[in-house]
A = this chain, B = another copy of it.
Amino acid sequence: MKLVDEQGIEALSMRRLGAELGVEAMSLYNHIPNKAALLEALVDHVIAEVPIADEALPWDEQIREMARSFRRLSLAHPHIVPLIAMRPFNTVTALKNVEYAFGLTLSLGLNENEALHVFRALAGFATGYTLAETGGFFAEGTGPKTDYTIDTADLTSGEYPNLMKMIPVILSCNHDEEFEFGIDLFLEGLKKKMPPR
């Protein structure tokens, strides 16, 4: 984890990890079946840190807390976020969070199908947003520059008036606030779909 956090995911090779541990690469195979399992363990380790929200809180505040925790821990290990986003939440540790989340959505009075939809919509937003954030949003210039890449400096022509108008807020945007805004949209929509209690 230290290796990945400090040097990125492509720095994690069996030989390099071995060297870090003062051991040959092949010795690692006495502890892990293969590299895929190693990556899965990394994901599991991050997910394991996501705490269950305080069940005494109002349900919407619980949802907020879960999303915040997920994002906070993702941002703490940005190089692992693509791995997290790509794998289904079916690791040992993620199970307790899924169980909790289903309990929460079911308690809202929705039927099972709708409860599942709500969970997946929120999980989709949280992973998608965080993935984009760690990968570098459009026009923030953190992404890799290639032949196909556009630089904001190239947009001086009048072809993209709306985009030009947005550049200042893109550069000054507060991501914490933006993430909360996204959750707001969801929760407001959800409250409208919920049966009265």
Q: 0/1 per residue, A117-136, Cβ < 8 Å to B?
A: 11011011111111110011
Tell whether A197 is near chain B: CB-to-CB under 8 Å: no
Measured as residues with beta carbon below 8 angstroms from the partner, the interface class of chain A is 35 or more
Shortest CB distance A91–B (Å): 5
Q: Which of A13-21, A22-30, A51-59, A159-167 contacts B (4 or more CB under 8 A)?
A: A159-167
Shortest CB distance A42–B (Å): 10
Shortest CB distance A74–B (Å): 12
Q: Could you tell me if B146 and A37 are in contact, using CB atoms closer than 8 angstroms?
A: yes
CB contact under 8 A between A166 and B102, given known A37-B146, A91-B148, A92-B150:
yes
CB contact under 8 A between A88 and B137, given known A165-B102, A192-B188:
yes
Tell whether A153 is near chain B: CB-to-CB under 8 Å: no
- Taking Cβ atoms with an 8 Å cutoff, the residues of A that contact B are 33, 36-37, 40-41, 44, 82, 85-92, 94-95, 98-99, 102-103, 106, 112-118, 120-121, 123-132, 135-140, 142-144, 146-150, 159-163, 165-166, 168-170, 173, 178, 181-182, 184-190, 192-193
